[in-house]
Amino acid sequence: DAKTTQPNSMESNEEEPVHLPCNHSTISGTDYIHWYRQLPSQGPEYVIHGLTSNVNNRMASLAIAEDRKSSTLILHRATLRDAAVYYCILRRRDDKIIFGKGTRLHILP
């Protein structure tokens, strides 16, 4: 299974941008990079995904390194409601999702 490495936890101040890193040095050419997050006492929710190019949606932006060995999830203006565990996942054609332990993001008011 393709593996990802994320910091265990991060802190950020409210209303500031947050950059959540993910390393995936064993990524293959057809692996998509997905991000999910899990708010307290809720199920995970999909955030964003990409293959090679940077991606934006209403929740976040995904910046993918040119060699694809790392990526960064960007929350442009963090709010207290963004405090969650963020999972970086590689999706292959025939594989089920495997959730690692993710990064616990703390937002300071």
Partner 1 sequence: DAGITQSPRHKVTETGTPVTLRCHQTENHRYMYWYRQDPGHGLRLIHYSYGVKDTDKGEVSDGYSVSRSKTEDFLLTLESATSSQTSVYFCATSPWGAGGTDTQYFGPGTRLTVL
Q: Give the interface with partner 1 as residue ranges (CB under 8 A).
A: 30-32, 34, 36, 41-46, 49, 51, 91-102
Choice between 29 and 109, CB closer to partner 1? 29
CB of 13 to partner 1, least distance (A): 27
- Across the beta sheet with 18-23, what order do the strands follow? 18-23, 70-75, 61-64, 55-56
Nearer to partner 1, 74 or 92 (CB): 92
Q: Helix or strand or coil: residue 22?
A: strand
Residue 94 or 109 with smaller CB distance to partner 1: 94
- State the nearest-atom distance from the C-beta of 91 to partner 1, in Å: 5
Backbone angles phi, psi at 81, to 5 degrees: -75, -10
The residue (of 30 and 53) whose beta carbon lies closer to partner 1 is 30
Q: Are 73 and 62 in contact (CB under 8 A)?
A: yes
CB of 82 to partner 1, least distance (A): 17
- In eight-state DSSP terms, residue 46 is E
Q: Which residue has the tokens 């960007």?
A: 74
Shortest distance, position 16 Cβ to partner 1, whole Å: 27
Length in residues, the chain: 109
